[in-house]
Chains A and B, each alone.
Chain A
Amino acid sequence: MKDQELEHHLRALPEAIQPDRDLWPDIEKAIASDTSGRTTAEPARVYFLRAAAAAAVVVCVALAAAWLFGQRTATTRWSVGPYTTGPADGRSFVVGERVQTDASTRLLATTDIGEVLVEPNTTIELREANDDRQVLSMQHGQIYARIVAPPRVFVVETPSVTAIDLGCEYRLDLDSTGTGILDVVSGWVALEHSGREWFVPAGASAAFDGDRGPAAPVFSDAEPGFTQAASRYREALIVNDADAATSALEQLLRSARSFDSLTLWYLAIDAPASHRSRFADAFDATGVLPEGFDKSRFVEEQPAAMDWLRLHLEETAWFRPDLFFGQDESTLPLNKRKRIKPARPGRISE
Chain B
Amino acid sequence: MRDKTEAAPVSGIPVGPDLGDHDREAAAGSSRSATAVIDRAVVVALQQKDRAALKHVYQELGGRFYAICFRILADRHLAEDAVQATFIRIWNKAPTLRSLDAFVGWACRIATNTALQSLRKLQRRDALSREVAESEPEPALEAPHDRRIDLDQAIARLTPRRRAVLVLYDVEGYQHREISEMLGISEGTSKAHLFHARAALKQYLER
Contacts and interface: CB of A to CB of B under 8 A. Distances in A.
Interface of A: 1, 3, 6-7, 9-11, 13-21, 23-24, 26-28, 30-31, 37-47, 49, 57, 60-61, 150-152, 166-168, 186-188, 190, 192, 195-199, 257-259, 269-270, 286-294, 303-308, 310-312, 314-316, 319-322, 324
Given A292-B22, A321-B89, A14 B67 contact: yes
Given A258-B177, A293-B23, A6 B201 contact: yes
Interface string B1-32: 11110111111111111110011011111111
B178 A199 contact: no
B115 to A, nearest CB: 11
Q: How large is the interface on B (under 10, 10 to 19, 20 to 34, 35 or more residues)?
A: 35 or more
Binding site secondary structure of chain B: helix
Given A294-B23, A304-B19, A306-B13, A20 B30 contact: no
Which of B30, B117, B177, B201 is packed against the most chain A CB atoms within 10 Å?
B30
Contacts of A6: 170, 198, 201-202, 205
Contacts of A286: 177-178
B10 A150 contact: no
B190 interface: no
A12 to B, nearest CB: 8
B11 A196 contact: yes
B23 A316 contact: no
Contact of B14 (A39, A307, A322): A307
Nearest to A260: B181
Contacts of A186: 1
Contacts of A315: 96-99, 102, 106
Interface of B: 1-4, 6-19, 22-23, 25-32, 34-35, 49, 51, 54-55, 58, 62-64, 66-67, 70-71, 76-85, 87-89, 91-93, 96-99, 102, 105-106, 109-110, 113-114, 117-118, 121, 125, 149, 151-152, 166, 170-171, 174-175, 177-178, 180-181, 198, 201-202, 205-206
Contacts of A41: 88
B149 to A, nearest CB: 6
A41 B58 CA distance: 18
B88 A30 contact: yes
B85 A43 contact: yes
Given A13-B151, A43-B81, A292 B97 contact: no
B58 A24 contact: yes
